[in-house]
Amino acid sequence: MEKENKKAGMSNIVKVVASWQRTFIFMFGLYLIAYGQITIGGGFAGGIIIAGTFILTTLAFGKEIALGKLGRLLAFRLASIGGIFLILTAVINNNFRFTHVLVETPSGNFALFSAGFIPIYNLGLGIIIGASFFMIFIILSMHRIININGTKKLIITKKWGQK
């Protein structure tokens, strides 16, 4: 951790536990995205869990550390790349008609690549949802309602990208 951010975030116990847990939470989100066609989950659930990893980092270590790992520009680019990836996969899939065809693999059905383009759809959707949900969390955390002379005012405490 940087010296100026030692006071940011929560206590040291929370920081240690969060630093251990965020790797496992991130890997579980990737698992749900990869095996979403077989188990309960998929791109949406995996993307929410991956965004939860960055939200945990924000709550435990402070906003500056989390935005250093997934900043505004990177989150916007990831959401855009995920959307383009999803559209290209849909166009390719529409041309070849592989969505509902189970691909026979040596390991049989219910393997990673046993569902045609569905795992690829899940990957694009997970990227979009993970980046977008984290962006929404950060934007909502920058707004505050304060009471000025008996009226409530909505203020922005810090603009995104401002140091």
Query: Helix 118-141 and helix 43-61: axis angle, to 10°?
Result: 30
Report pLDDT digits (tens) over 51-97: 999 999 888 988 888 888 887 788 889 999 988 988 888 887 766 55
Has residue 15 been placed in a domain?
yes
Can you tell me the distance from the alpha carbon of 4 to that of 40, in angstroms, rounded to the nearest whole number? 42
- Least Cα distance to 23 among 53, 43, 1, 49 occurs for 53
- Least Cα distance to 73 among 113, 18, 131, 112 occurs for 131
Q: Which domain holds residue 21?
A: 3-156
Q: Is 108 exposed, middle or buried (0-12, 13-18, 19+ CB in 10 A)?
A: exposed
Has residue 163 been placed in a domain?
no
Has residue 64 been placed in a domain?
yes
Cα 15 to chain centroid, rounded: 20
The pLDDT of residue 163 is: 52
Q: Is the pLDDT of residue 29 over 90?
A: yes
Has residue 22 been placed in a domain?
yes
The pLDDT of residue 50 is: 93
Has residue 67 been placed in a domain?
yes
**Region 30-57 average pLDDT:** 88
Rg of the chain (C-alpha set): 20
Q: How many domains does the chain have?
A: 1
Has residue 123 been placed in a domain?
yes
The pLDDT of residue 5 is: 52
Report pLDDT digits (tens) over 103-154: 555 555 555 556 667 788 888 899 999 999 988 888 888 777 777 788 877 7
- Least Cα distance to 6 among 54, 62, 66 occurs for 62
The pLDDT of residue 102 is: 47
